[in-house]
């Protein structure tokens, strides 16, 4: 049987947007997806220009999200889109995701999942009721050596996990560019569009999801501090949290967007009773292992000693750079496999990750605003 690409629609991601272009390139990388439709902007003319640049048929470029849903749903099954990628500011995630799921489309959404845990639970309920898949763009879980780290911990190489430390440092918001016309900064620091957390929701959720995903443990309680360093800013730009995991492990999470000079400094360190490991996003093809009773090891992407599941995520020979777009593409490839009911090379982040990260956001904010030392991270389950 001929295996055709799945048909993708996109909402948001018009000309000048950052993350939409990343989604477009990642989805196309393996040939599993073909972008065929979109409502790329609330400005109908900008949406039209964006679709024209992407080479889409004019009648599949829509002036609004509602038009995209209505007109795509009316097309024959063999022509309409299979899934919608939501790459808008956060306040639109929940209403769009729920509408798309209820219309019968699978959804791949930017993070954070929603503006609140209650909204995230509503998305989860809609996904269950529709029987459609919901994926989230927690990109870093798609890196091959992140998967290698997860597998080694899961099989017990490090022994019982004791320490989990994750940091995500950026410097791009060190100055008040959100008031100087920078559109990416402006909406991310606006509570009406970004949600409860600024830095916390934007990159703190990445750090939290990566820590739980790789360690295989869940955070039970947090003790946190939120700060706004740039005068007049309305949402946090600096976050610190102590973490207590189920089973007794302890952790630290640091996320900041005012660490001047930092680019995209995501770094994870996990230690067990017999050894530890370290991975950094800006050197993604290297995993460092340190042992209690023998010399340290450096594991390289494409090199010897990798699990078969890790190797399946690689695209280039050893020594050839492989990074962000490829990691993103691994999520889209896994998402396509789930829709086709095929065996996937790896899982993709979804409802469970979204609920956990939203519960984390709310716990951190509650704790930082109170005098209590520890606040529970709710399970994130929904009725």
Average pLDDT, the chain: 96
**Among 212, 210, 182, 207, CA closest to 197:** 207
Mean pLDDT calculated for residue range 114-121: 97
Is residue 65 helix, strand or coil?
helix
Mean pLDDT calculated for residue range 159-181: 97
Q: Please write the tens of the pLDDT for every residue from 147-161.
A: 999 999 999 999 999
Asked whether residue 292 carries a pLDDT value surpassing 50, the answer given is yes
* Domain-located, residue 114: yes
Question: Which of 139, 162, 185 marks a domain boundary?
Answer: 139
| Same domain? 126 vs 212 | no
Tokens standing for residue 335: 């998402």
Beta bridge mates, 243? 222, 251
Question: Which of 139, 171, 194 marks a domain boundary?
Answer: 139
Domains in the chain, number: 2
| Same domain? 246 vs 194 | yes
Structural domain for 233, as ranges: 143-320+347-368
* Domain-located, residue 333: no
Asked whether residue 383 carries a pLDDT value surpassing 60, the answer given is no
| Same domain? 134 vs 164 | no
- pLDDT level of residue 358 (50, 70, 90 thresholds): very high
| Same domain? 305 vs 190 | yes
| Same domain? 107 vs 222 | no
| Same domain? 128 vs 202 | no
Mean pLDDT calculated for residue range 206-222: 98
Mean pLDDT calculated for residue range 231-258: 98
What CATH code is carried by the domain that includes residue 102? 3.40.50.720
Q: Please write the tens of the pLDDT for every residue from 6-51.
A: 999 999 999 878 899 999 999 999 999 999 999 999 999 999 999 9
* Domain-located, residue 285: yes
What CATH code is carried by the domain that includes residue 162? 3.30.360.10
Asked whether residue 217 carries a pLDDT value surpassing 50, the answer given is yes
User: Virtual CA dihedral for 34, 354, 245, 271, nearest 10 degrees?
Assistant: 20
| Same domain? 168 vs 298 | yes
Phi-psi region of 314 (alpha: psi -120 to 50; beta: other; left: phi over 0): beta
| Same domain? 135 vs 147 | no
């Amino acid at each position: 049987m001929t295996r055709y690409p799945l048909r993708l629609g996109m909402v948001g991601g018009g000309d000048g947007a950052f993350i939409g272009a990343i989604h477009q390139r990642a989805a196309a990388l393996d040939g599993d997806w073909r972008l065929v439709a979109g409502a790329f902007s609330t400005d109908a003319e900008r949406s039209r220009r964006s679709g024209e640049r992407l080479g889409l048929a004019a009648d599949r470029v829509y002036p609004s999200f509602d038009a995209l849903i209505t007109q795509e749903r009316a097309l024959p099954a063999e022509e309409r889109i299979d899934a919608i990628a939501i790459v808008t500011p956060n306040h639109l995630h929940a209403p769009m995701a729920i509408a798309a799921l209820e219309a019968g489309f699978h959804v791949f959404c930017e993070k954070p999942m929603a503006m609140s845990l209650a909204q995230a639970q509503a998305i989860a309920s809609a996904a269950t009721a529709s029987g459609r898949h919901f994926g989230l763009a927690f990109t870093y879980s798609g890196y091959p050596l992140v998967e290698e780290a997860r597998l080694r911990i899961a099989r017990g190489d490090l022994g019982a996990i004791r320490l989990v430390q994750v940091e995500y440092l950026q410097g791009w918001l060190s100055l008040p560019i959100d008031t100087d016309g920078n559109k990416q900064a402006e909406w991310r620091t606006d509570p009406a569009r970004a949600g409860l957390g600024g830095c916390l929701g934007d990159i703190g959720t990445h750090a939290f999801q990566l820590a739980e995903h790789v360690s295989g443990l869940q955070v039970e309680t947090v003790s946190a501090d939120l700060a706004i360093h740039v005068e007049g800013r309305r949402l946090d730009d600096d976050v610190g949290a102590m973490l207590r995991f189920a089973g007794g492990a302890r952790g630290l999470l640091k996320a900041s967007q005012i660490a001047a000079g930092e680019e995209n400094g995501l770094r994870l360190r996990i230690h067990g009773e017999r050894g530890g490991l370290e991975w950094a996003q800006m050197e993604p093809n290297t995993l460092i292992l340190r042992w209690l009773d023998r010399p340290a090891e450096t594991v390289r992407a494409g090199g010897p000693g990798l699990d078969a599941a890790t190797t399946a995520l690689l695209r280039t020979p050893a020594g050839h750079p492989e990074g962000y777009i490829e990691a993103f593409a691994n999520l889209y490839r896994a998402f396509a496999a789930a829709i086709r009911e095929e065996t996937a090379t790896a899982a993709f982040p979804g409802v469970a990750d979204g609920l956990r990260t939203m519960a984390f956001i709310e716990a951190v904010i509650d704790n930082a605003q109170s005098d209590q030392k520890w606040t529970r991270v709710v399970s994130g389950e929904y009725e």
